[in-house]
Amino acid sequence: MYPLISVLIPVYEVEEYLDRCVQSVLAQTYENFEIVMVDDGSKDRSAEIASRYAEEHENIHLIRSEHAGVSHARNVLLENAKGEYVFFLDSDDNMNPRTLEVLYNLLKEKNADIVQCEMKKMWKTQVLNTSSYIEVYKNDIVERFCCWQSGLLRCMLSAKLYKKTMFCNVHFPEGKTHEDEATMHRILENAHCVACTSKAFYQYYYNPNSITKRKFSDDRYDILDAMEDRLLLCLERNLDFAADMTRLHMLLLVIELYRRTVNEVGTGAEALIWLNKRSCTLIDGLLTTNYFNSKICTLFTVWKANPMQGELPNFKVISTDCWNKRGDIS
């Protein structure tokens, strides 16, 4: 008998997509699964649709909640999951019928704690990759992840099959967004082996009403709290290089948020004061290292004077350059 997998679906006002989502789970070739849904106070027909499935299928469970956000929903889902393994599926997405089977077999084959497949963007024409490859990480998982040197491994909670024990001492930050960024480093810290396949079994749908697609608001700043916790973990584990790269990542996010605040809120926004202070503090720390070339250091100096000036470089490009030459520096 194959072990139970809990497919966890947070639901909030997705009446257009929920049938497709649930049907994709019911079509799985892996037979021993349950579906747990939390309706986060939807005002459309989402709760009605979810309730119908729960009434028709013994292995589908619905929990109703007052609207408290997706992080709260994910915490409730984990608390109610009975499976040895868990898989997060967003309610406007769906997955290939072989997803759970392939990921479980890969997990057992590689003796992994977490396995991930790629995402297929549903609004683009893509062919499922039949000549796939697999990456396995056993050492320096958190350091590689924080420095974006982990290949296929992504930050998203979805498209991964986890041993449920990976969520020991992990709590999604309720009342905040960017719960993926806030927790993935903590989840990976619990893993001894992570395997990724390049096959795109998870089908991601562009929902213009999702949290990340909405008009700029204060919850955009939650990403910085997530990165602060990532930095804290690096410092706790004496991952000094990863800590510096996390500071760099934070700086680029702060500069981007500063510019978006100016452009979408206005030059009088109160957030600009603390964003500027945070950028200056990060820059002062980064300039004490010797990882960055003169062009990047000059850009840091420019930002101290005016965060609106200069290009916004790609974090992965800079981090990769630093990663490749850090042996020579040390």
pLDDT single digits (tens) 288-302:
999 999 999 999 999
Q: With contact defined as beta carbons under 8 Å apart, do 87 and 100 qualify? A: yes
**Total domain count for the chain?**
2
Instruction: Indicate if 219 and 199 belong to the same structural domain.
Output: no
The phi and psi torsions of 189 (rounded to 5 degrees) equal: -60, -30
Q: Which tens digit of pLDDT belongs to each residue from 157-203?
A: 999 999 999 999 999 999 999 999 999 999 999 999 999 999 999 99
For residues 172-183, one letter each, b for 16 or more C-beta atoms within 10 angstroms of the residue's C-beta and e for the rest, the string is: bbeebbbbbbbb
Q: What is the spatial distance between Cα 2 and Cα 329, in angstroms, rounded to a whole number? A: 50
Assign 259 to helix, strand or coil.
helix
Q: Residue 36: what are its φ and ψ, rounded to 5°?
A: -115, 125
Q: What is the largest CA-CA distance in the chain?
A: 64
Q: What percentage of the chain carries pLDDT values higher than 70?
A: 93
Query: Average pLDDT, whole number, for the chain?
Result: 93
Last-in-domain residue among 211, 238, 265: 211
pLDDT in tens, 31-72: 999 999 999 999 999 999 999 999 999 999 999 999 999 999
Q: Quick one: 158 and 58 in the same domain?
A: yes
From CA 221, how far away is CA 254, in angstroms rounded? 9
Q: How far is CA 155 from CA 177, 320, 326, in A?
A: 14, 17, 24
Select from 8, 1, 295, 4 the least CA-distant residue to 172. 8
Task: Say whether both 45 and 92 belong to one domain.
Answer: yes
Confidence label for 325 from pLDDT (cuts 50, 70 and 90): confident
**Which of residues 151, 183, 211 is at a domain's end?**
211
Of all helices (H) and strands (E), which one includes residue 319?
Answer: helix 315-329
Closest CA to 286 of 229, 226, 246, 231: 246
Domain co-membership, 194 together with 238: no
Position 124 scores a pLDDT of 47
Strands (E), the chain: 5-11, 33-40, 60-65, 85-88, 94-95, 114-116, 119-121, 134-137, 160-163, 194-197, 202-204
**pLDDT tens digits for range 236-286:** 999 999 999 999 999 999 999 999 999 999 999 999 999 999 999 999 999
DSSP classification of residue 83:
S
- Of the residues 156, 186, 211, which one is the last residue of a structural domain? 211
pLDDT at position 215 over 60:
yes
Query: Does the structure show a pLDDT above 90 at 214?
Result: no
Q: How far apart are CA 123 and CA 143, in angstroms?
A: 33
Q: Are residues 14 and 125 in the same domain?
A: yes
- Work out the average pLDDT over 99-125: 90
In CATH, what number is assigned to the domain containing residue 126?
3.90.550.10
Short-list 29, 30, 90, 37, CA closest to 60: 37
> Does 174 lie in the same domain as 38?
yes
- 89 & 128 share domain: yes
Give per-residue pLDDT as tens, 71-96.
Answer: 999 999 999 999 999 999 999 999 99
According to the model, what pLDDT value does residue 123 have? Answer: 56
Per-residue pLDDT, 263:
96
Statement to judge: residues 202 and 219 lie in one domain: no
Are 201 and 232 in a shared domain? no
Chain centre to alpha carbon of residue 156: 3
pLDDT at 242: 97
Strand 134-137: give its sheet, edge to edge. 60-65, 33-40, 5-11, 85-88, 160-163, 114-116, 194-197, 134-137
Q: What is the pTM of this model?
A: 0.92
Euclidean distance between CA atoms 157 and 51, whole angstroms: 25
Token digits of residue 58: 């013994």
> What pLDDT shows up at residue 85?
98
Residue 122 has what pLDDT?
A: 66
Query: Do 286 and 274 touch, CB atoms closer than 8 A?
Result: no
Do 161 and 252 lie in one domain? The reply is: no
Is residue 118's pLDDT more than 50? yes
The pLDDT value recorded for residue 131 is: 65
Using the predicted structure, report yes or no on whether residue 25 has a pLDDT greater than 50: yes
Question: In the sheet that 202-204 helps form, which strands lie side by side, from edge to edge?
Answer: 94-95, 202-204, 119-121
pLDDT attached to residue 126: 47
Residues 125 and 250 reside in one and the same domain: no
Same domain, 59 and 202: yes
Helix (H, G, I), strand (E, B) or coil at 173: coil
pLDDT exceeds cutoff 90 at 101: yes
pLDDT at 10 over 90: yes
Domain of 314, in residue numbers: 215-329
